[in-house]
A and B are shown apart, each in its own frame.
Chain A
Amino acid sequence: MNYTSAEMMVVTAARMLKNGDRVFVGIGMPNLAVNLAKRLHAPDVHMIFEAGVIGAKPSRLPLSIGDPCLVTGAGSVCSMFDVFAFYLQRGLIDIGFLGAAQVDRFGNLNSTVIGSYERPKARLAGSGGACDIACLAKKVFVLIPHEKRRLPEKVDFITSPGFLGGRAERSSLGLEGGPDTVITNKGVLRYDETGEMILTSIHPGVTVDEVLASTGWALKVSSTLEITPEPNDEELRILREELDPTGVYLGGAVV
């Protein structure tokens, strides 16, 4: 079966969602993952968008986080303040999907600058809701390409707190929840008891050495390392025929 690495990431994320999960979701791959899960094992997942849409049922592929198709037929639409205060801060969000330019050893995320803040090599978009979600969601899932510069030992700027220097440091600030899973194009990473990232699964065809060489620190490898199950025909059919028929997000090289 041929599939792209983006499809592998989306399918892996979708399988991790449980029916009834309340998921704070962005557009692109996270949106596809949640919609895929809804069509298969988790029809009652709630999709919540920072634009203030609760229980979105998009009739087409949303191309922006405030796409009108998210509103029509949704469970509820509220203000941005309400979605952050009443839903996120209230503790109703099980999983927050975040992307970032960098994620580090302890799951801290950077979406602000590469280089120094004052004289950035590259200025990025900034937090948006990411820092809020990282502080308040019960679990944070990150989707990111696996490259050394994207997974450095320490991020250039902590936009969104992970475990900071470890689980103890995060909880000392009174923050609950936190980083849970990182899905890359090479594998799946979780966090150990100290809050350090650990490789728990590699995708078919990927070697551990390849993952280590693409990570910016001496990455821990689980003693029970698994091979990530491949996407199946039905998952790929739904993704290709129903969710992203023109390959906006899922195009790219076949693995």
Chain B
Amino acid sequence: MKQAKVMSLGKAVSELVHDGDTVYLAGFTHLIPFAAGHEIIRQQKRNLTLCRATPDLIYDQMVAAGCARKLVFSWAGNPGVGLLRSIRKAVEQGELEIEEYTHYGMTARLMAGATNMPFYPLISNLGSDLPSVNKEIRYVTCPYTGKRISVVPALKPDVSIIHVQRADRHGNAHIWGIVGEQKEAAFAASRVILTAEEIVPDEVIASDPNRTLIPGMIVDAVVEVPWCAHPSYAQGYYDRDNQFYIEYEEISKDPENLSKWLDTWVYGVTDRREYMERLPADRVLALQGRRRYSYPVDYGYYA
């Protein structure tokens, strides 16, 4: 019998995220594992290379908290609002090393990492100044057509953290809605922490195998963390807290203000449950929308 994978977020981060690691907290706007990022901040992990297509507020907070040495990304903004101020300031002051790609480049890097290829070819980057400031973006000559093709190197995170709607205790996970780069980030990583809105009986996951994007065989830790993604969202569970994304612009304008925010909402709580208890109830309730189920599919029974 293998060791049980279900554990607390504190234990998972403590055992699987190490100082100096290359980490990927997955999720394109959707299912961003904020609670895991906050746990990394609380455990004061240092010198991390933070990778994400869109660093979003979570990496801005981790940079502000001093966790990061380097940022690998493709779009560093506050989605729908503006800029990420801690990251921008750290870059402008030369305090944070950066390596940037395009969105297609970042996801292609994960695809290479996930499929054990050294690089991935794509028709992009041509004519852009990006390859002149990022020497990792290179070219190959197509052996069939002689065309010049842009390539990006495999990205193999030491640890990826993937948030999902539901998983079983082995880490077989269902994701629906925007699936971003979750699958690629999981397969590319040496270690995977899976956080789930809910851990469900094995047969729930087995009832719909096409929806299982992440297989348990690549998962090292399974953690049940309801509301893990707030202020981002979990399709069918809760909506994006746009108000917070807008408020963050104010919160992060002044580093001291952000530091106070981190004291209250990250260092000042022990876990996500305590964080959620501090949010006003009406605000939380407003994020829970009406249900809209898909029609079930018939997989058939073959005896």
Contacts and interface: CB of A to CB of B under 8 A. Distances in A.
Contacts of A50: 103
Contacts of A135: 123-128
Nearest to B30: A66
A174 B29 contact: no
Interface in B53-104: 53-54, 73-77, 79-80, 83-84, 88, 91-92, 94, 100-104
Interface residues of A, number: 51
A67 interface: yes
A130 B102 contact: yes
Interface stretch (A75-83, A205-213, A237-245): A75-83
A159 to B, nearest CB: 6
A27 interface: yes
Interface stretch (B12-20, B177-185, B250-258): B177-185
Given A65-B29, A66-B28, 16 more contacts: A52-B178, A64-B240, A67-B240, A68-B239, A79-B180, A125-B75, A126-B75, A126-B76, A127-B128, A129-B103, A132-B105, A136-B123, A136-B124, A158-B128, A161-B128, A170-B127
A57 to B, nearest CB: 13
A160 B103 CA distance: 12
Given A50-B103, A128-B102, A131-B125, A64 B242 contact: yes
Contacts, number: 171
Interface in A32-82: 50-53, 63-68, 70-72, 77-81
B107 interface: yes
Size category of the B interface is 35 or more
Contacts of B29: 51, 64-67
A221 interface: no
Contacts of B80: 27, 63-65
Interface of B: 28-30, 53-54, 73-77, 79-80, 83-84, 88, 91-92, 94, 100-105, 107-108, 110-111, 122-130, 133, 147-148, 176-184, 233, 235, 239-240, 242, 245, 292
Which residue, B129, B130, B148, has most C-beta atoms of chain A within 10 A?
A: B129
B111 A81 contact: yes
A88 B122 CA distance: 11
Contact of A51 (B28, B88, B233, B239): B28
A84 interface: yes
A214 interface: no
Interface of A: 27, 50-53, 63-68, 70-72, 77-81, 84-85, 88-89, 112, 117, 119-120, 122-132, 135-136, 157-161, 164, 169-170, 173-175
A161 B130 CA distance: 10
A174 B273 CA distance: 54
Contacts of B108: 81, 84-85
A128 B74 contact: yes
B107 A79 contact: yes
Contacts of B75: 125-129
B184 A79 contact: yes
Contacts of B73: 126
B130 A127 contact: yes
Contacts of A129: 74-75, 102-104
B128 A68 contact: no
A127 B74 contact: yes
Given A51-B28, A51-B180, A63-B242, A161 B126 contact: yes
A65 B76 CA distance: 13
A67 to B, nearest CB: 7
A97 to B, nearest CB: 15
B102 A132 contact: yes
B107 A71 contact: no
Contacts of A51: 28-30, 178, 180
B87 to A, nearest CB: 8
Contact of A159 (B54, B128, B180): B128
Contact of B181 (A67, A80, A126): A80
Contacts of B239: 68
A99 to B, nearest CB: 11
A119 B92 CA distance: 7
B76 A71 contact: no
A158 B131 CA distance: 10
A80 B28 contact: yes
A27 B101 CA distance: 21
Nearest 4 A/B pairs, CB to CB: A66-B29, A161-B127, A128-B75, A125-B77
